[in-house]
Structure 1
């Protein structure tokens, strides 16, 4: 009779311990698992964004592999020029930033 009581107590304590570790503890399996899944989803989104950005960068690298394209880009965006060359920048009225407080 005494042996069956101890078996039941061990089973009850083991069940309480398992429930505590799975559901109630700060480092419980379900809580930690849920948080890690959220982090995995966030990292997968970041990975997709970075892969997309890397694809754009690869296209830019291929585009600028020729000297003519690189020179065209430098002239248009950084207003670079060749020797003995004059550049005139023409700005239209609608593209100028004006103060509306005047």
Structure 2
């Protein structure tokens, strides 16, 4: 096959067309090399999704804490919370902690 026969094939004509070459270079540039490339956008979308999930988590935690604060406005509930969570006690009061063995004995 000579060079002239090779050059006359339709696929070679299409590939060597200057417009196809320019468009292909442009597409490669935009998808992979540009600072606003598709790859960068994909990474940013992943990060946005992660941050939205974190925001949702923290909003739910804030809601739980607000409910706890509202509950602890009552003095009796506050004392109960302090005793259970922080092992606090009143003067002249003894606290006994009872721990159960969760391991099964043979």
Residue in 1 that maps onto 2:91: 83
CA-based RMSD: 2.9
**Does 2:60 correspond to 1:52?**
yes
C-alpha contact 1:22 1:28 (8 A) present in aligned 2: yes
Task: Determine the structure 2 residue equivalent to 1:68.
Answer: 76
Q: Deviations over 1:15-67 (max 9, x none)?
A: 35532321231635211111110110111111111111111111111111222
Q: What corresponds to 1:6 in structure 2?
A: none
Instruction: Check whether the contact 2:32–2:38 (CA below 8 A) recurs between aligned residues.
Output: no
Unaligned runs of 5+ in 1: 1-8
The residue number in structure 2 matching 1:39 is: 47
Q: For this pair of structures, how many residues does the alignment match?
A: 90
**Would you say the 8 A contact 2:72–2:78 is kept in 1?**
yes
| Contact residue 30 and residue 37 of structure 2 kept, 8 A | yes
| Unaligned stretches of 5+ residues in structure 2 | 1-17
Report the alpha carbon displacement of residue 84 of structure 1 after superposing the two structures with TM: 1.9
What TM-score comes out, normalization by structure 1 length? 0.66
